[in-house]
Structure formats: structure tokens, C-alpha cells
């Protein structure tokens, strides 16, 4: 999430540049955003970085650029908290089908699961989970080894008192793990099955998957690295147990698939207008977060929508204009990206071309 918000959005245990020459055939020129890739490596501490930008309003421009070894356009990589946008979309679809209501309490679907230490599922709604206003403790912040099941994650969270009880925004992976369980209770299928059926298959996201207990990445893929805090060396963390992330962050995807997903979502292909408006409504969080998606206003006045994802060995960010016609996804193959100004500067370079009216919005 943007700057300060990104710190809140980071998955704690899901621990949320020399310019390359590879490009897609339709690329007419080097965009300003691509010039930031060397900075992500040199200043951000990433071994390699890549981006894919697509703009249907500019002669259908498509730009792919990469820098550093071992990173390619078709690579599958872990997308972390971007999973939340997929989960939220499914929940809004179920609301459209009247199989649940956002005003439903957690206890209505998962009776007794959230209870104790000041936590009470009878007072927490699905809307509060979607907007991170439940106040539930973020289970990934617990000092113990991360749980490898959804129920264990909830038990870990409920063992702590709420972070707040006033309905204010507080990012918590626990919220989306609970939503995954609600989807299963309502549909009789796991959230991964519903995401595949409702989003991945219809949009033909052939590089996107939810691995469950599978610890390796599907081919083709590169490697992911974490920096050892003790000596600064990089450790290969490509293989990991994604069950610690679950519905909060287990997604695997590609640059092209993430662009396609957000373009379809914001373009109205996955949700009708009423549900899409609900998804993008940030009133509850005072402009910080919608439902599995958040806005970022850039200096030129353009507001982009999307999400970031951080998990061991990977950081990724997707942003798109409100109509979904202009999208950008960039990634690095480490979770220890430094330089807080690099991400907003890259987005500004892509979505705020020189000379654009600084008060124009889209």
C-alpha cells in the first residue's frame, strides 16, 4: 500500500537496477516508469526487477522491461496480499447472488470460532473483515511459528486482544483468512475452488494458481530471496509452505495475469456496477482502503487502484486507472525492498506523463 499504508499492509510472516532489453513486440518506446527498474536494484536492494505496463488508451501500448539476472516476463511468482482482491471479488459476487450479506456477522457463518479475549464474532460483520475494520489481531504478527491452517490462524489471533474496538482501520491478515472460511461455508467449496471457477478460468489467467500445500512454484519461474538481517546475505526462499498465508496471501501469478485481472475487475467484467461501487467505497476507512483494493492519488491528480503483495522472496505491486484501461504491475524477487520513495515515484512516472494537468483525475 502507498507509503505509510504499505507498512500497515505488509504481511509480517509473508515477509507484503541496470535496464534490461526484453520487450513485447508492440512496445513503441521506453516509458519513464521503466527507468526506475535500475533504481530498484541499486537503491532498493533487489537482485532483479521487472514491470509490465499496458495502456489501451494509448494505441494499446504494451511495455515489458526487466533488469538483473534470472527474471523473465512469463515467470510465475508469489503475489502475497494481492490474493485479497481475488477473495473480496468472490465475496461481492456471493453478495450479488444473495448467498450472503455484507451485514452478516462472522458468527452467523462460523458460530463460536471468534470468541474470547475481547473478540466476539457476534459483533463483527463481513463488511468489517473486507475493509480491515474488525479490530482482530493480525495473526502473522505473532512471535511464534506461523500456523499452517486457517483455523489455527484464527485461534492464534483470538488468543490476543483486539487491536481496537472502535471500528477504525487496522490491516489484519486474519480478516481475509476468515473470509476464506466464510466462502467455504457458504458455497461448500474452498475459496481456491471458487476463485478458479469465478475468476481464473473465465479470464483465462493461465499463469495464476492457488497452491494449497504445494511448496514449489510452477514452471517457468525464477528464484526468490530474503535478506538475512544478521549479515545482509541473500537466502533462497523459493520453496515455502503457502498455507501460512492462505486466503490472505497464497496466490501465484504472472505480470500479464495480474494486469488482466485488475483491468477486468475495474472494467466491470467481474462485478456489476452496484457491487463494484461497494468494492471501491473507502468511506469506512476514510479513504485508505476499499474491499481488497485501495486507492493511491498521484501528484498529477490521477488516482490508481490496486494492491501490493509481500511474501518471502517476492514483492509485487499492481496499479490501474479507475476504468482499468491502463495497468502496471512491477515485481522484485526479494521481500526486502528498501527505499520508500521508489514505488510511488515509479507509479508517478507511469501514470503522470510530463505535461499532464496536475488536477486531472481518472
Q: At 124, which CATH number?
A: 3.40.710.10
Distances (CA, A) of 343 to 1, 189, 216: 10, 37, 28
pLDDT at position 355, please? 44
pLDDT at position 210, please? 98
Q: Is 362:345 a contact under the CB 8 Å cutoff?
A: no
How many domains are there within the chain?
1
Is residue 336 situated within a structural domain?
yes
Is residue 360 situated within a structural domain?
no
Is residue 75 situated within a structural domain?
yes
Is residue 359 situated within a structural domain?
no
pLDDT at position 18, please? 25
Is residue 325 situated within a structural domain?
yes
Is residue 357 situated within a structural domain?
no
pLDDT at position 146, please? 83
List, by residue number, the catalytic residues. Answer: 81
Is residue 62 situated within a structural domain?
yes
Is residue 27 situated within a structural domain?
yes
Report pTM. Answer: 0.90
Q: Is 236:180 a contact under the CB 8 Å cutoff?
A: no
pLDDT at position 39, please? 87
3-state secondary structure the chain: CCHHHHHHHCCCCCCCCCCCCCCCCCCCCCCHHHHHHHHHHHCCCCCCEEEEEEECCCCCEEEEEEECCCCCCCCEEECHHHHHHHHHHHHHHHHHCCCCCCCCEHHHHCCCCCEECCEECCCCEHHHHHCCCCCCCCHHHCCCCCCCCHHHHHHHHHCCCCCCCCCCCCCCHHHHHHHHHHHHHHHCCCHHHHHHHHHHHHHCCCCCECCCCCCCCCCCECCCEEECCCCCCEEECCCCCHHHCHHHCCCEECHHHHHHHHHHHHCCCCCCHHHHHHHHCCHHHCCCCCCCCEEEECCCCCEEEEEEEEECCEEEEEEEECCCCEEEEEEECECCCCCCCHHHHHHHHHHCCCCCCCCCCC
Q: Which domain holds residue 280?
A: 3-351
pLDDT at position 26, please? 39
Task: Give, for all 362 residues of the chain, the pLDDT tens digit.
Answer: 443 333 333 333 444 322 232 333 334 444 688 888 988 888 778 899 999 999 998 777 899 999 999 999 999 999 999 999 999 999 999 999 999 999 999 999 999 999 999 999 999 999 999 999 999 999 999 998 889 999 999 999 999 999 999 999 999 999 999 999 999 999 999 999 999 999 999 999 999 999 999 999 999 999 999 988 888 889 999 999 999 999 999 999 999 999 999 999 999 999 999 999 999 999 999 999 999 999 999 999 999 999 999 999 999 999 999 999 999 999 999 997 777 888 999 999 999 976 444 444 44
pLDDT at position 31, please? 61
Amino acid at each position: 500500500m502507498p507509503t505509510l499504508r504499505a507498512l500497515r499492509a505488509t504481511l509480517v510472516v509473508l515477509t507484503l537496477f541496470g535496464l534490461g532489453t526484453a520487450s513485447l513486440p508492440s512496445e513503441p518506446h521506453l516509458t519513464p516508469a521503466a527507468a526506475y527498474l535500475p533504481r530498484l536494484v541499486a537503491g532498493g536492494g533487489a537482485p532483479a526487477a521487472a514491470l509490465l505496463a499496458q495502456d489501451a488508451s494509448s494505441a494499446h501500448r504494451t511495455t515489458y522491461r526487466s533488469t538483473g539476472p534470472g527474471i523473465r516476463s512469463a515467470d510465475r511468482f508469489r503475489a502475497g496480499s494481492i490474493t485479497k482482491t481475488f477473495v473480496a471479488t468472490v465475496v461481492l459476487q456471493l453478495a450479488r447472488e444473495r448467498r450472503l450479506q455484507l451485514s452478516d456477522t462472522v458468527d452467523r457463518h462460523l458460530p463460536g470460532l471468534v470468541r474470547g479475549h475481547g473478540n466476539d464474532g457476534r459483533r463483527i460483520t463481513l463488511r468489517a473483515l473486507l475493509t480491515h475494520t474488525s479490530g482482530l489481531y493480525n495473526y502473522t504478527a505473532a512471535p511464534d511459528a506461523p500456523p499452517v491452517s486457517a483455523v489455527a490462524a484464527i485461534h492464534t489471533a483470538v488468543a490476543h486482544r483486539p487491536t481496537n474496538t472502535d471500528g477504525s482501520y487496522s490491516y489484519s491478515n486474519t480478516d481475509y483468512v476468515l473470509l476464506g472460511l466464510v466462502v467455504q461455508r457458504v458455497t461448500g467449496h474452498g475459496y481456491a475452488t471458487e476463485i478458479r471457477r469465478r475468476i481464473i478460468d473465465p479470464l483465462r489467467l493461465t499463469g495464476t494458481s492457488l497452491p494449497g500445500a504445494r511448496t514449489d512454484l510452477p514452471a517457468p519461474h525464477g528464484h526468490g530471496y530474503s535478506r538475512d538481517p544478521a549479515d545482509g546475505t541473500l537466502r533462497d526462499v523459493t520453496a515455502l509452505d503457502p498455507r501460512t498465508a492462505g486466503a490472505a496471501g497464497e496466490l501465484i501469478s504472472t505480470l500479464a495475469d495480474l494486469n488482466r485481472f485488475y483491468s477486468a475487475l475495474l472494467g466491470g467484467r467481474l462485478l456489476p456496477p452496484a457491487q463494484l461501487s461497494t468494492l471501491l467505497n473507502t468511506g469506512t476507512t476514510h479513504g485508505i482502503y476499499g474491499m481488497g483494493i485501495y486507492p493511491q492519488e498521484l501528484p498529477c491528480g490521477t488516482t490508481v487502484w490496486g494492491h501490493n503483495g509481500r511474501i518471502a522472496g517476492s514483492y509485487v505491486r499492481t496499479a490501474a486507472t479507475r476504468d482499468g484501461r491502463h495497468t502496471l504491475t512491477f515485481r522484485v524477487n526479494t521481500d526486502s525492498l528498501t527505499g520508500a520513495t521508489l514505488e510511488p515515484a515509479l507509479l508517478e512516472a507511469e501514470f503522470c506523463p510530463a505535461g499532464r494537468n496536475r488536477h486531472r483525475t481518472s
